[in-house]
Copies of this chain bind each other. A is one copy, B any other.
């Protein structure tokens, strides 16, 4: 059996009891190492799980999948993924290879940033398509993500922006901060999104030292939320209860322009 096991978002103890039991019984345990990081490193996980972890980088998963699947038809192999196994990156390719090789698989789910962002008080129901914001270079300034943010907002939906990591590649020393993402956005925003549009910056969601700040896009450009990973939400329609929650994460001067109009409000 090939087990895909989500590790959640914070530290070693965010694994589920079921996931931990499976790890202890597996013949080999791989740690997917290219999409995200926990606030603790591989060594801390190895010590807590009591197992050696084999790092599976992107090349290995794509080119040496047979190595990962070896023997999984007769013994148990675990493939650990930060967050949920089918969160930001899907592992469909590995699933399909396993099935084609006659190997059964099972998924042990966990929180991922895609559902944990609900902790800021915005309704998960009301999020549209998730986008990735990547670092611009002098010659490469993709803006396609902006069309998606605008499309979501036109429908009143919030947009979760994953920062820097991109969909598949994570470069450890070069994560993008909320401030950097906001600066890039400010260069290209146009009606209906402006520098006054309400945004939420999130850092290390699920960890002990998580940080959340709500404010205008302009304010995001100068906020400092500390170490990785960061993500940012561009809000759409805001329900009054969502506004009340966002106020928990904003300074006294921030969001003061928010006005309630009937049962919902739309702030740019």
Q: What number of copies of this chain does the assembly contain?
A: 2
What are the residues of chain B within 8 A of A11 when measuring CB–CB? Answer: 18
Q: Which of A75-113 contact B (CB under 8 A)?
A: 84-88, 90, 92-93, 95-96, 99, 107-112
Tell me whether A115 is interfacial, beta carbon within 8 Å: yes
Q: Mark A149-171, 1 if CB is under 8 A from B, else 0.
A: 00100010100000000010000
- Contact partners of A118 in chain B: CB under 8 A: 84-87, 90
Expressed in whole angstroms, the minimum distance between the Cβ of A38 and any Cβ of chain B is 12
**Contacting residues of chain A (107-140) with chain B, CB-CB under 8 angstroms:** 107-112, 114-116, 118-119, 121, 123-130
The residue that A245 contacts in the complex, of B10, B14, B95, B155, with Cβ under 8 A, is B95
Q: Measuring CB to CB, which residues of chain A are less than 8 angstroms from any residue of chain B?
A: 6, 8-11, 13-18, 20-21, 84-88, 90, 92-93, 95-96, 99, 107-112, 114-116, 118-119, 121, 123-130, 151, 155, 157, 167, 205-206, 241-242, 244-245, 248
Q: A8-B110, A111-B115, A114-B114 are in contact. List 14 more A-B contacts (CB 8 A).
A: A17-B20, A84-B116, A84-B118, A86-B119, A86-B124, A87-B115, A90-B121, A96-B241, A96-B248, A111-B111, A114-B124, A125-B167, A126-B129, A127-B129
User: Could you jot down 17 A-B contacts, CB within 8 Å?
Assistant: A6-B111, A13-B18, A14-B109, A17-B17, A84-B111, A85-B118, A85-B119, A86-B121, A87-B118, A88-B125, A90-B118, A90-B121, A92-B245, A95-B121, A95-B248, A114-B115, A155-B155
